[in-house]
Amino acid sequence: GQNIDQPTEMTATEGAIVQINCTYQTSGFNGLFWYQQHAGEAPTFLSYNVLDGLEEKGRFSSFLSRSKGYSYLLLKELQMKDSASYLCAVIDSNYQLIWGAGTKLIIKP
Amino acid sequence: IAGITQAPTSQILAAGRRMTLRCTQDMRHNAMYWYRQDLGLGLRLIHYSNTAGTTGKGEVPDGYSVSRANTDDFPLTLASAVPSQTSVYFCASSGTGTDTQYFGPGTRLTVL
């Protein structure tokens, strides 16, 4: 079966750095997305990786290693508004988007 | 409007009733999707449509039907609601099947 694993919950301190990991086992790979979802709201797009390496976008960066079936989302200079769930999703060989259950990130002052 | 709208925002429904959740996008996206999101389970695909006039089944299609008569609208119908269909329902769209998906605000449905 297809599977995406993320930690259920993480806690970090305001101003610090946090890395949220995602490992996947899917039938093929055509790209990986990270989305942010605040409580009670819709998911919003953060990043997309299809090639190995690091993609940087402001305070957020996303890394992909296709050979290891692994990605991480790095959040720097954490702010209270970064408290949210972070969803990892992979496009499989059938071009279906497979979603992880999400990581709830709690930021403490 | 800009983006995706869903209606209603929330609904309490008696078991056995028929219900249609509405979704409209104005981005001229070809692909549209319906997901349900339950605590601890993440987003699960119910049905999708790659282009107007075509639909397909996702991971959890039973008890749901969709239609795609035009590019903009993608309604989801529960023919006879059951309590296990209590969930938050999100509609999404993308330019193509591999493009970034953009989500509507969601419909919170409670079936009693």
Residues 6+ apart with CB under 8 A from B110: B10, B11, B12, B13, B86
Q: Does A91 touch chain B (CB under 8 A)?
A: yes
Q: What is the pLDDT of residues A45-92, one digit of tens each?
A: 999 999 999 999 999 999 999 999 999 999 999 999 999 999 999 999
Contact criterion met (CB < 8 Å) for B43 and A91: no
Contact criterion met (CB < 8 Å) for A42 and B103: yes
Q: What is the pLDDT of residues A26-56, one digit of tens each?
A: 989 999 999 999 999 999 999 999 999 999 9
pLDDT confidence of residue B102 = 95
B1 pLDDT above the threshold of 60: no
Q: How far is B17 from chain A (nearest CA, A)?
A: 26
Q: Does B87 touch chain A (CB under 8 A)?
A: no
Backbone Cα Rg of chain B: 13
Cα–Cα distance for residue pair B10/A108, rounded to 1 Å = 31
Residue A36 · residue A20 · CB < 8 Å: no
Tokens of B90: 């999100």
pLDDT confidence of residue A102 = 95
Confidence of residue A22 (pLDDT cuts 50, 70, 90): very high
Render the burial of B45-55: b for 16+ CB within 10 Å, e for the rest: bbbbbbeeeeb
Residues 6+ apart with CB under 8 A from B62: none
Task: Tell me the residues of chain A between 23 and 62 that have a Cβ less than 8 Å away from chain B.
Answer: 30-31, 33, 41-45, 48
**Percent of the residues in chain A that have a pLDDT greater than 90, as a whole number:** 92
B98 pLDDT above the threshold of 70: yes
